[in-house]
A and B are shown apart, each in its own frame.
Chain A
Amino acid sequence: MISINIYAIYSLWLREMIRFFRLKSRVVGSLAPPFFFLAFLGFGFGSAVMPAIPEGVGYASFLAPGIIGMTLLFSSTFGGLSMLWDREFGFLREIMVAPVSRLSIVIGRTAGGVTTAVMQGLIILVPGVAMGLEIPGLPAFLLALVFMLLIATTFNSLGLAFASRMKDMSGFSLIMNFMVFPVFLLSGALFPISNLPGWLQTLALFNPLTYGVDGLRGSLIGVSAFPLALNLLILAGSSVAALSLGAYLFEKSDVE
């Protein structure tokens, strides 16, 4: 029997919002790395010619969607893993003892994590525009927003899935360094994946963020390696798969 508790989902989402707007220094801290990547790589390689970047597209414009993807990847994975903190500080028990279906809890947490991640992605869009990114119009912006939502859902759910399998916080930096960083570097965020040797390209094709970054590029600068519909389809698939995995592992995890 599947039941959804709207009030509870809203409560969990609202909690993430309150925390997001209250913990400003944490938000500033998590936005600093993508901002520096964007500023220094954008200016540093701005005039360099990089192979496989289409003619007429400056490196800064090419980079900006990639860095938005990076921001979403880091903040949403972190959001999913934040269940570890709730377990550590006992708040998870308060959530789990409530008469609320486990599915509602997963949906509420995911909604909160995705919203905060997308807000951070939108914040990084601002310096991107300042560095020369030109958004073609509202439909393009809305399409980019859809890609942001799907990227955040995929990685927030994966974070939740990992957190459900971990007993304590010790695995946190392992996940960040051995999963999140390779996913970032192998996504084509910094350079076209066609510049990679063949076997690494193949690996990149199994990375959901590759399609996320490519989709953001397609919608924001009109240049993409794959058709937008394909990007959309694969990301939607990875979101559903990751969300199902996260929900399944969360359901099975112990509170204690």
Chain B
Amino acid sequence: MDAPAIAARGLTMRFNGFLAVDGVDLEIERGELFGLLGPNGAGKSTIIKMLTTMLRPSAGSAAVWGYDIKRERDAVRSSIGVVFQDPSVDSQLSGRENLDFHGRMYGMDRKTRTDRIAEVLELVDLTDKADVLMEDYSGGMQRRLEIARGLMHHPAVLFLDEPTLGLDAQTRRYIWRYIERMNEEEGVTVVLTTHYMEEADHLCERVAIIDQGRIVALDSPERLKDLIGADIVTLEVDDSVTDEQVGALSDLEGVEAVDRAGSTLRLSVDRSEARIPEIVLAASRAELLIRSVTMHEPTLEDVFLKFTGKKIREAESAGAGRMAAVQSRMRTRRH
């Protein structure tokens, strides 16, 4: 049987005592479109950097396409394509020249390069921009060219680190379509990181939710959302809400759980559209003032909340703070 596309055991990265990645076990099948979802600073990019040989893990091991990331670095590098989070093109070269450079670095001969450049440009709809200098590309076009470049040498696994970061909604949808298309047409295994819930939900066959360097949940988006089960009804209420008032709501039929965060109550409710009138009546019987009611079907945001006890944005500011502290410590060390 073929080795999985990626197999990691206890993958760990420590920067000056700070655990950026904490013993990650991960198995990704060949041909899968897999997502690492989590807030900034959760360790997603660090995992990608280790798997793409850009960082050496402090502990643990991993194999990409059957090759060990520590001992068989060049074999790993030959098997992968990488689209980095930050731009990585030569802005003084045209799109075609950037692709040509890339092809030569991967040992492709002229004929192979010419044919393949035409193919990948077609895939990302940049054929007519091939000879424009990169500095005249828009952000979205540049990202598309980087995706084309990542595919150029027929990698077995393509890594995309935050592929739609900073792009507008329309460009984001285009990029999603290209990613899906190349996963289907080229059969390439795709591993992407994102902190956009809807991106992971829309694109990925399986998602690993990452927080503080650990995988807290891993499954298909549907099954993850099924863990929440019911719909979410969010009530904005008075600050003075009491435990008895909360109890009155959680006793209702169909209400599976009530989480309280300050003046916000989050109710997990089965068939919520039918239950809302009862919830509002029960609240008014308990003399609880409701300021607003919203309901939605479970999202990956709710899954994240369930497993980490916080919203992804809150985790993000905490995570960013952690990263900033580490970076300033690392700077201090260097000088």
A residues sitting closer than 8 Å to B (CB atoms) are 5, 7-8, 10-11, 14-15, 18-19, 22-23, 89-91, 93-101, 167, 255-256
Contact residue among B75, B86, B105, B334 (Cβ-Cβ distance under 8 Å from A98):
B105
Contact residue among B54, B101, B149 (Cβ-Cβ distance under 8 Å from A15):
B101
A11 with B105, Cβ < 8 A, contacts A90-B84, A167-B334 known: yes
A18 to B102, CA, bound (A): 15
A183 to B104, CA, bound (A): 37
Contacts of B97 in A (CB 8 A): 15, 18
A93 with B84, Cβ < 8 A, contacts A256-B49, A256-B55 known: yes
A98 to B77, CA, bound (A): 6
A91 to B90, CA, bound (A): 6
CB–CB A98/B53 < 8 A: no
Contacts of B54 in A (CB 8 A): 93, 96-97, 255-256
A97 with B52, Cβ < 8 A, contacts A11-B101, A90-B86, A91-B90 known: yes
When C-beta atoms are compared, the residue in chain A nearest to B45 turns out to be A256
User: Is B114 an interface residue when CB atoms closer than 8 A count as contact?
Assistant: no
CB–CB B52/A89 < 8 A: no
Residue of B90, B97, B108, B334 with most chain A CB atoms under a 10 A cut-off: B90
User: Is B78 an interface residue when CB atoms closer than 8 A count as contact?
Assistant: yes
A-B contact count (CB 8 A): 76
Contacts of B105 in A (CB 8 A): 5, 7-8, 11, 95, 98, 100
Closest chain B CB from A123 CB (angstroms): 20
User: Is B93 an interface residue when CB atoms closer than 8 A count as contact?
Assistant: yes
When C-beta atoms are compared, the residue in chain A nearest to B334 turns out to be A167
A15 with B52, Cβ < 8 A, contacts A8-B105, A90-B86 known: no
The contact string, 1 if C-beta is below 8 Å from chain A, for chain B 91-112, is: 1110001001110111110000
A80 to B90, CA, bound (A): 17
The list of the 3 closest CB pairs from A to B, nearest first, reads A11-B104, A90-B88, A99-B77
CB–CB B53/A97 < 8 A: yes
CB–CB B92/A8 < 8 A: no
Contacts of B104 in A (CB 8 A): 7-8, 10-11, 14
Contacts of A14 in B (CB 8 A): 101, 104
A42 to B100, CA, bound (A): 45
Contact residue among A7, A23, A90, A98 (Cβ-Cβ distance under 8 Å from B87):
A90
User: Is B82 an interface residue when CB atoms closer than 8 A count as contact?
Assistant: yes
CB–CB B78/A19 < 8 A: no
User: Is B241 an interface residue when CB atoms closer than 8 A count as contact?
Assistant: no
User: Is B74 an interface residue when CB atoms closer than 8 A count as contact?
Assistant: yes
User: Is B89 an interface residue when CB atoms closer than 8 A count as contact?
Assistant: yes
A210 to B104, CA, bound (A): 39
Closest chain B CB from A4 CB (angstroms): 12
A233 to B155, CA, bound (A): 47
When C-beta atoms are compared, the residue in chain A nearest to B49 turns out to be A256
A15 to B102, CA, bound (A): 11
A15 to B93, CA, bound (A): 8
Closest chain B CB from A82 CB (angstroms): 11
When C-beta atoms are compared, the residue in chain A nearest to B79 turns out to be A99
Contacts of A99 in B (CB 8 A): 74-75, 77-78, 106-107
Pick 10 A–B contacts, CB within 8 A, sort by A.
A5-B107, A7-B108, A8-B107, A11-B104, A15-B97, A89-B87, A95-B105, A98-B102, A100-B74, A256-B49
